Structure formats: structure tokens, C-alpha cells
Amino acid sequence: MPMFDSPLSEANMKSFRKGWGILVLVTLLLSACESTIDTEISRLETEISWIETQNAAAADGGVDNGASEIDSSSTIDISGKWNSSLGWLYDITQSGSEFTWIVTHQNITERASGSISGLSLEASWSDPNGSGSGSGVIVATGTKAIRIEWDNGVIFTKENQLPPAPAVPQPEQNEPAVPQPEQNDGNVGQDGNADACQAYDPLVMVSPNPGKHSATTTFSLSGFLPNELVEFQVNFLANGFEAFYKDLYVDGNGSATIKLNWEASDENGQYRVRVIGSGNGDCPGKDADEAFIIEGEYQTDVCQEIDPHGSVDPFEGPHPTTFTFIISGFVPNSTLRFEVRRFYPLEKVYSTTLNTDGNGNATIKLDTEATDEPGIFTADVYSDECEFVLTLRFTILD
């Protein structure tokens, strides 16, 4: 993953210029086109000038719409709502150098916690399908973060807060083209290891097939590149209508599982699922597809009529405190799993089961103990019958 370098001081700028000088010299020796060399030199000088401008602005009290020098004694503020390259909206809560987030997508709730050190951060997350961890680099203006780049390729951004890119001179028309390397036939990686790339054989399986209009269809992906970004498409073959689309990352084994619940407006008939791999730095992406059928009358599912919600009273309190959790809107006369987790470090500290009444409601009270450490906690209420998770947050104060 890219490592953060602090803005260049005057002494470092000289070394920076020497470094670019070496790069230009190598380019001069290797390039067969003098005009292309001049364009490259001009581009590099423009980037150096942009960095000098940012440092000068930082010395005068800040950089306008750009990355600025950070006081090592300050903690970067990453709190707030973030867009992501996954298409999900993340709401980050921060306390000092520690942060948490909860994001719900497709009825799946992901919980995460982490810490910040300078312009680097680490996080651990989990959802009902598993858990993981990663690290990232922060791009900030002053002490306010405007972009986060994670080591798995996911990028968090805030609207209208991206740093300006330096202008890059464009080559004049009719300039000789830069010589290109010869193209290789077949699925050959950049390292020339054709066998390694050809070993990946993506597959998507549909279950059940045929499927019922009022049931859940499960798509199992396998054989993709580890942690590869893929496009998941489902189309109705009769008219080409796109019934579902999603971008997602497969896991480290090249696998993923997606479950779809059909709606009353979805037509019966033949569909096709197509999964398109994006590849990586060494191997090109491959596709996998499969046809399947949806049939039968649409029937209202009890799970599609529920409206789970809840509250915690009080929202926060010191020891000793009795927290009351009021749960509503679940399937009547059903059994729920109730689990409490500490956000940082991420660990489960309590679990039990709840039975809803004839209206789908339940209540549980928890008393803090002397051994309970202060911090942020989540209470997750699971309906295994409907594959739904309701998450409530509360805080034990010092």
C-alpha cells in the first residue's frame, strides 16, 4: 500500500529535485522520442511547482483545497459521512485517536473500530458473514480528513473536498508515438507467468435453479483472483432488463456469496447472471455467467412485512447504570438472538435469546457491573428467520 510522506521541506525538496533529475536522465537514455521527453520534463516540473505551492501555502497558515502539513501532536478528524468506491455510505464516529462505524447494506450490518496514528489508520470489521482488518492512508487539509485510501483498494471520499490535481501539459498533435512493448497473446501476467493467470477459473453457481418467485436465490462465486473487484449483473433474458447490479470484492480465496429476494414486480422466466472480474496488476480479469429460471406465484413473505426498530434508555451512563433495550417490529412470537459487543477492541461480551410477543415486540434490561470498562458498545438483535440484524449503540461512561 502507498506510504505517507510528509510535505517536502526546502532541504528535502533539493533531494526531491535530484531524484527527479535521475528519473529524467534515465528517461533520456531510454526514450526514442525527444518531443515526448520534453513533455515528460514539463509535466514533472509542473508537479514540483504544485508541491512547492502547497508547502508555501501551508507555511502561511494553510493550503486552499489541498493537502497540508500536519502537526504531529494533532489527531486527524475523520468523523462524519463518507462516500466509498463500494457505493456504500459510511458514518464514522471518532473519540480522540479511536473511531468506529456502523453501515447497513442489503440488510447486512457491518461494525468496525480502529485507531489513527498520524496520517495512517487501522481498522477491524465484522458482519454476519465474517470479519477482516486493514490499514489505510489519510489525505487531509489541516487536521480535517478529505480522503482515505485503504490497502484493499477501497477509497473513502467526501464530496467537493478532493485535493486539486496539478495541470499536466498535453502533447502536441502529430507528435511521434512513444514506442510500445510488444503485446502478448493469451492470459499472461505482467511478470510473464501465463500459468499463474490461467490457473484462475471463475465460476458462478445459482441455487435453487429453478427458483421460486417468493423465495431467496443464492449466487456462489468462486475461482476469482484473491480480493478482486467484480461486477455482479442479473438480467431478464426476454427483454435484457437489468434486474440487479452490484460492485463487490471477493475474499482472499476468490469467493463470495450473494442472496437476492425477488419482488412482486419481478417477472417469471429465464434470467442470466454475469460476474465480470477486473483483474489485478499481474493478471487480466475473467468473466463467469450462468442461466437460471424464476417461476411460481409471488407470495407475501412474513419477513417482508416486518419493520424492525428499537431504542436504548439511557443512551449513555456511568457505572452503575441499567440500560433498557426496547425492540419492536419483528416477526410475532419469534425467537431473536441478542448479542452485545465492545467496539474497541472488538469483542463479544454478552449474548442471550429473546422471545417476541404477539406484536413482534421484546424488552431486555442490562445492569452494568463493576468490572465493565467504559467505552462504546453495540447491541445486535438477530432475526435468523428473516436474515435481519438490528444494531443499537450505547456508551458506558467513566
Are 201 and 254 in the same domain?
Answer: yes
As for how many domains the chain has, the answer is 3
CATH of the domain at 364: 2.60.40.230
DSSP state, residue 77: B
pLDDT of residue 86: 76
172 assigned to some structural domain: no
pLDDT of residue 103: 79
240 assigned to some structural domain: yes
Are 286 and 307 in the same domain?
Answer: no
181 assigned to some structural domain: no
- Position 385 pLDDT exceeds 70: yes
Question: 127 near 143, Cβ under 8 Å?
Answer: no
pLDDT of residue 372: 85
Are 108 and 142 in the same domain?
Answer: yes
pLDDT of residue 51: 53
Query: Is residue 338 exposed (0-12), middle (13-18) or buried (19+ Cβ within 10 Å)?
Result: buried
Are 312 and 286 in the same domain?
Answer: no
Are 308 and 362 in the same domain?
Answer: yes
The radius of gyration of the chain's CA atoms, rounded to the nearest angstrom, is 27
Are 311 and 278 in the same domain?
Answer: no
28 assigned to some structural domain: no
CB atoms within 10 A of CB 165: 9
Are 108 and 138 in the same domain?
Answer: yes
What value does the mean pLDDT take over residues 312-339?
A: 94
142-193 per-position pLDDT tens digit = 888 889 998 888 888 875 444 444 444 444 444 444 444 444 444 434 444 6
- Position 318 pLDDT exceeds 70: yes
CATH of the domain at 286: 2.60.40.1940
pLDDT of residue 130: 72
Q: Which of 138, 155, 172 is the last residue of a domain?
A: 155
Are 323 and 290 in the same domain?
Answer: no
- Higher-confidence position of 219 and 33: 219
Q: Which of 269, 295, 321 is the last residue of a domain?
A: 295
- Higher-confidence position of 12 and 48: 48
Are 206 and 251 in the same domain?
Answer: yes
246 assigned to some structural domain: yes
Q: Range with the lowest mean pLDDT among 31-45, 234-248, 314-328, 354-368?
A: 31-45
- Position 18 pLDDT exceeds 80: no
59 assigned to some structural domain: no
Range of the domain at 322: 302-397
Q: Which of 277, 295, 313 is the last residue of a domain?
A: 295
75 assigned to some structural domain: no
Are 87 and 147 in the same domain?
Answer: yes
pLDDT of residue 9: 45
74 assigned to some structural domain: no
One-character DSSP codes across 357-376:
-TTS-EEEEEE--TTPPPEE
pLDDT class of 41 with cuts at 50, 70, 90: low
101-139 per-position pLDDT tens digit = 887 665 667 888 999 998 899 999 887 767 788 899 988
Closest CA to 100 of 110, 92, 88, 89: 92
pLDDT of residue 28: 45
Q: Range with the lowest mean pLDDT among 73-82, 94-103, 274-283?
A: 73-82
